[in-house]
Every structure is written in C-alpha cells, then in structure tokens.
C-alpha cells in the first residue's frame, strides 16, 4: 500500500478536514480516486440485508515481490460451503525484486452460506513460501 491508499481509505471513512490534517500531518491532499477497495492483503465482502440471493463482490490487488530473484506463485483457494471464489490470473510470475503484479478476485456467496463465511487465498511459490490472505463474507 502506498500513502495515497491510506488517504483514500480515510476519505471513504468520512474523516473531516481537521481529522485528515491531524492524521496525515499535512494540510493538502486529494481524495479524487475515492476507491471502494483498499489494496490490503485481507478481503471483506459485506452484503446488506435484503440483497439478492446470490451476492458477489469483486476485488483487485497489486502485490510486490520482496524476495530476491525470480519467483512463480500459484493460487490455492480454501472455499467453504456456500462461497465461491475466483482468482485471475491464478499464477503470478516475478522476474525481479520489487516487481509488481496485479490480480483480480471475485467472492460470491449463496443461500447456503452462513451469515459470516470465511475462506482463504494462499499463494505458494516453488520454494514453498506461502502468502495467505483471509477472505470473509458477511451477509446482513
């Protein structure tokens, strides 16, 4: 996450100008992007009460290779009953340190899901490094 990601997050929370200045320690910033989703390693899909029987939320993330050299990560999903998760692409290949890659994920819950349903997205590389992200769906 970058500094602008935090600014956008605070903007979405409705912080006042005074609160923003106190947190950011500056008097000028821009809330122009106004994202719904923060580039953070965990995922939370909130579906309000009365939403349709099939509920879906889409996420996008940008990840950075912090290891030395090349690495290829394969996505493995842990998906409970009532939830469906798709990741594209399901393989991320890095050729250098600090290289960035992006992926998209969709989370869908149906009528079989409990009010709070959780799963995991795990990325495994050839050296058995694991990057794990929790996925939580909350239905009202």
Please tell me what DSSP assigns to residue 129.
-
The per-residue pLDDT for 36 is 63
Q: 3-state SS of 26-91? A: CCCCCCCCCCCCCCCCCEEEEECCCCCCCEEEEEEEEEECCCCCCEEEEEEEECCCCEEEEEECCE
For 63, how many CA atoms within 13 A lie in the half-sphere containing its CB? 22
State the CATH number of the domain containing residue 57. Answer: 2.60.40.2310
Same domain as 130, residue 61 = yes
Residue 124 confidence (pLDDT) = 95
Q: Considering the chain, what percentage of its residues have pLDDT values greater than 70?
A: 92
Helix (H, G, I), strand (E, B) or coil at 97: coil
Do residues 51 and 113 share a domain? yes
Question: Are 121 and 82 contained in the same domain?
Answer: yes
Residue 7 shares a structural domain with residue 23: yes
pLDDT band at 122 (very low <50, low <70, confident <90, very high): very high
Report pLDDT for 33.
60
pTM value is: 0.77
Residues 90 and 120 reside in one and the same domain: yes
Query: What is the extent of the structural domain holding 34?
Result: 1-39
The whole-number average pLDDT for the span 42-52 is 78
Provide the number of structural domains found in the chain: 2
């Amino acid at each position: 996450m970058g500094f602008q990601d935090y600014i956008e997050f605070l903007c979405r929370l409705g912080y006042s100008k005074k609160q923003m200045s106190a947190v950011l320690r500056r008097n000028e910033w821009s809330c122009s992007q106004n994202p719904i989703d923060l580039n953070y390693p965990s995922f939370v899909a909130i579906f309000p009460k009365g939403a349709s029987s099939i509920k879906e939320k889409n996420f996008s993330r940008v990840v950075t290779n912090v290891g030395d050299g090349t690495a290829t990560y394969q996505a493995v999903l842990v998906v409970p009953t009532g939830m469906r998760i798709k990741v594209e692409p399901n393989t991320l290949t890095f050729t250098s340190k600090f290289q960035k890659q992006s992926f998209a994920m969709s989370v869908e819950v149906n009528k079989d899901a409990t009010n709070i349903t959780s799963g995991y997205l795990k990325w495994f590389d050839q050296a058995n490094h694991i990057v794990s992200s929790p996925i939580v769906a909350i239905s009202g």
